[in-house]
Amino acid sequence: MIRNLSVRHKVTAITVMTTTIVLALASLLFVGLEINNYRRALVQELTAIAQISASNSTAAIIFDDKAAAEETLAALDARPNIETAAIFTPDGRLFAGQTAATAGAAEEQMQPYLAELLRDDDPTFEFIWTLQSVDLYGPIELDGQTIGIIHIRSNLDQIIATIWTYLAVVMMIIGLAIGLAWFLAARLQRQFTAPIFGLVDTVNAVARERDYSLRAPKHSSDELGAAGGRVQHDVGRDRSPQDRTEFGAKRSRIRQPYEKRFSRPDEP
């Protein structure tokens, strides 16, 4: 498509396309870094919450005090991003927190972690990410033994809202940049296209009028100006045989009246 455009439009289009691509890549990189930073911060936050909640729940698990465990988990309700929290026994049964429906889904999701927990002597926290939430599973330990599993689910509303905000700002910046690039390209492209258009007009005029004395205006001393001078030199030098014949006939017609007028009578 670009090949069929004029030089003026090609310069403008290439400038705008380059600006758009560079800004889009830079913006996507920025948004990606922000998302990664938020994920890292959320992991640190949930890990700290899980460690504190697990530490406060050890006594409740040892004495089978579900009410105390529920009270510990209820403290997480103050955090808007925490949707559910629960404590499970090492064999995967619900001990405290959550409803029966959400507990069933959590138990099913927790099965791979339970298998790893039984094999690993030093279990760590497991994070399961989805498009809408993140689930944390971590061990509750006492004297090096796992006595329970804590599960915390956090929504990603904040990061989703942040992404949409960043995307809106990015689109606005790209739109302004495209407008500015188009304006500047339309202004500055004359520095490149004016010598070309002047040379093309001159060559067309020479071909149309057979007037090899025409010269294109020199706009600059750069490569375009040098190319224009070279083309004009070649055009003036490389006349075809037909051009030479027409030029000779025209010169003869102009000289003929003067030759008859000033010729001597004894000349035939």
Count the neighbouring beta carbons within 10 Å of the beta carbon of residue 131.
6
Range with the lowest mean pLDDT among 75-79, 104-108, 222-226, 233-237?
233-237
Enter the pTM of the model: 0.64
Of the CA atoms within 13 Å of residue 23, those in its CB half-sphere come to 19
Count the neighbouring beta carbons within 10 Å of the beta carbon of residue 111.
10
Distance CA 217, CA 109 (A): 78
Distance CA 246, CA 248 (A): 5
Query: In which band, very low, low, confident or very high, does the pLDDT at 262 lie, cut at 50, 70 and 90?
Result: very low
Q: What is the mean pLDDT of the chain?
A: 76
Query: Which CATH number does the domain 2-161 belong to among 3.30.450.20, 3.50.50.60, 3.40.50.150, 3.40.50.920?
Result: 3.30.450.20
Query: In which band, very low, low, confident or very high, does the pLDDT at 124 lie, cut at 50, 70 and 90?
Result: confident
Tokens 């911060």 sit on residue: 41
pLDDT tens profile 53-83 = 999 999 999 999 999 999 999 989 889 999 8
pLDDT tens profile 6-30 = 666 777 788 888 888 988 898 889 8
Distance CA 88, CA 62 (A): 13
Burial class (CB in 10 A: 0-12, 13-18, 19+), 48: exposed
Q: Which percentage of the chain shows pLDDT scores above 90?
A: 24
**Which pLDDT value is given to residue 174?**
87
Quickly list H helices, the chain.
7-62, 66-74, 100-119, 157-188, 190-209, 223-237, 241-262
What DSSP assignment string belongs to 167-221?
HHHHHHHHHHHHHHHHHHHHHHTHHHHHHHHHHHHHHHHHHHH--TT--PPP--S
Closest CA to 185 of 2, 9, 3, 6: 9
Asked if residues 216 and 198 have their Cβ atoms less than 8 Å apart, the reply is yes
